[in-house]
Amino acid sequence: MNPQTDNVFYATNAFTGEALPLAFPVHTEVEVNQAATAAAKVARDFRRLNNSKRASLLRTIASELEARSDDIIARAHLETALPEVRLTGEIARTANQLRLFADVVNSGSYHQAILDTPNPTRAPLPKPDIRRQQIALGPVAVFGASNFPLAFSAAGGDTASALAAGCPVIVKGHTAHPGTSQIVAECIEQALKQEQLPQAIFTLLQGNQRALGQALVSHPEIKAVGFTGSVGGGRALFNLAHERPEPIPFYGELGAINPTFIFPSAMRAKADLADQFVASMTMGCGQFCTKPGVVFALNTPETQAFIETAQSLIRQQSPSTLLTPGIRDSYQSQVVSRGSDDGIDVTFSQAESPCVASALFVTSSENWRKHPAWEEEIFGPQSLIVVCENVADMLSLSEMLAGSLTATIHATEEDYPQVSQLIPRLEEIAGRLVFNGWPTGVEVGYAMVHGGPYPASTHSASTSVGAEAIHRWLRPVAYQALPESLLPDSLKAENPLEIARAVDGKAAHS
């Protein structure tokens, strides 16, 4: 039945579980070495390529993706079971993301140019001329995510920001959508050709063996890693990256329960809160990394009504087809196991295998405290409501939470005094605070932070979405007393790139 061999593998139809046409090579250490060596050879020229040419490459990739959107959507739909309208939106998002990074490169702000003017007469020692800019790290490995086959995969945010920084990229394609990755890789290859740039700037490696990713993270020419996935797999690769003779940064987004706090004033004021909540938790079949996985609310009649409405909405949910059989099996067993724990109530929708039911758990703060395992993310259409005794109880629970991508607050003005006590704690555990909204939907802008304390991110000072994501692939270099003709353009006195710079600690522009 299954045509899998050691040399090739096949994608799985997410609806039927059957193999899809097209064999993909199982790449090994040999191909990793070829790709990394080739990437290292072109890395210096690519990082020194002028900004407008790198921006042009990103825009051309965006156009190529749009040109092949029909092919991409058709294949991605079969591989992921995501609806066509969602995939259409995701292509637009991915193309816009590439164009945002083109703007970032063109602005030159990523150089973070800082100039300290010399003072030869300073006592006791003269002050030297020191100028600093950021440069690309070198070849980068990117691991595609299963849940966003475009925006967080072969040409997703990690690839776009790394190419923008000037780093060649080697993508380890996700086994859940190899055909989608291949078409996307063809778009990037075509763009490189059109821009007359070497193909070694981008390589897609495919395979269904763990050794491939391990070889990639361990290769001496790889200088940083971008990863979106599970805590288990991500932590193993994180460990590898740090055990290398030369450790490298590993930017991993591993998991989040995205706590939501609903204050009594919001429960009273907002009639459609339960609808909004269920829509957010079931969006993309609950396979968003920003899914609200736990809701804290007070024990009031309005909260009881909120729970009942949410339960009734859950019962009416259509069955979900999850991304892969593995994700489905994992979801099923975790939901069944949690449902059989003490002190937890669960409501399911109707579903027949291979589809899965949505699930809503309800418990008390007392029981939540007894079950630290409930804080573990379950990937799929489920969430948990924790009924707290009072605001102090809710605040005290917040102090026990681990890192998350987001933390959400619902409240109206009368609760602001209590909310202002909660915010400082939420800053400490989340990359993004959301007010009177829902965490699903991650805006790709300048101010976005998609990260947060571990396990949300292995590198809480970084973001994997938004303009600042480019800084993951850069490091600073200072130039002391270099003559004008030898300085990089970003630091020359006349500021030929016309970029924002800081001079002697003050912002300056050209």
> Do 110 and 474 meet the contact criterion of CB atoms below 8 Å apart?
yes
| Among 289, 302, 377, 468, the one annotated catalytic | 289
Nearer to a second copy, 355 or 402 (CB): 402
326 binds a second copy (CB under 8 A): no
Contact with a second copy (CB under 8 A): which of 279, 416, 496, 498?
416
Q: How far is the CB of 318 from a second copy (least distance, A)?
A: 22
Q: Label the pairing between strands 382-388 and 359-364.
A: parallel
Beta strands, E only, 422-473 = 430-435
Q: Which residues, at least 6 apart from 242, have a Cβ–Cβ distance to it below 8 Å?
A: 250
Considering only residues 420 through 449, tell me which ones interact with a second copy, judged by CB under 8 A: 420, 423-425, 427-428, 430-437, 441, 443, 445-449
Residue number, 371 or 425, with CB nearest to a second copy: 425
Catalytic: 285?
Answer: no
Q: Is 461 one of the binding residues for a second copy (CB under 8 A)?
A: yes
Beta carbon nearer to a second copy, 150 or 387? 150
Q: Which stretch binds a second copy (CB under 8 A): 71-79, 103-111, 194-202, 308-316?
A: 103-111
Residue 90 designated active-site: no
Closest CB 435 distance from a second copy, rounded Å: 5
User: Which residues in the 61-90 window bind a second copy by CB under 8 A?
Assistant: 89
Total residues contacting a second copy by CB under 8 A comes to 82
Return the closest-CA partner of residue 181 out of 168, 171, 190, 167.
Answer: 171
Q: How far is the CB of 134 from a second copy (least distance, A)?
A: 8
Q: Is 26 one of the binding residues for a second copy (CB under 8 A)?
A: no
Of 171, 175, 176, which is closest to residue 187 (Cα–Cα)?
171
Task: Round to whole Å and give the CA distance between 324 and 261.
Answer: 31
Q: Which residues of 348-369 are buried (b: 16+ CB within 10 A; e: fewer)?
A: bbebeebbbbbbbbbbbbebbe
Q: Within positions 111 to 130, which residues make up the interface with a second copy, using CB under 8 A?
A: 114-116, 124-125, 127-128, 130
Query: SS3 of 123, please?
Result: coil
DSSP state of 119: B
Angle between helix 29-48 and 210-218 (nearest 10)? 40
* CB neighbours of residue 239 within 10 Å: 11
3-state secondary structure of 471: helix
Q: Which is nearer to a second copy, 373 or 447 (CB)?
A: 447
Nearer CB in complex with a second copy: 146/161: 161
- Kindly state the smallest distance separating residue 366's Cβ from a second copy, in Å: 25
353 binds a second copy (CB under 8 A): no
CB contact at 8 A, 296 and 332: no
Q: Please identify which residue in 81, 225, 397, 474 interacts with a second copy, judged by CB under 8 A.
A: 474
User: Judged by CB under 8 A, does residue 453 bind a second copy?
Assistant: yes
List the catalytic residue out of 253, 302, 377, 468: 253
Strands 250-253 and 224-228 turn out to be parallel
Active site positions, annotated: 253, 289
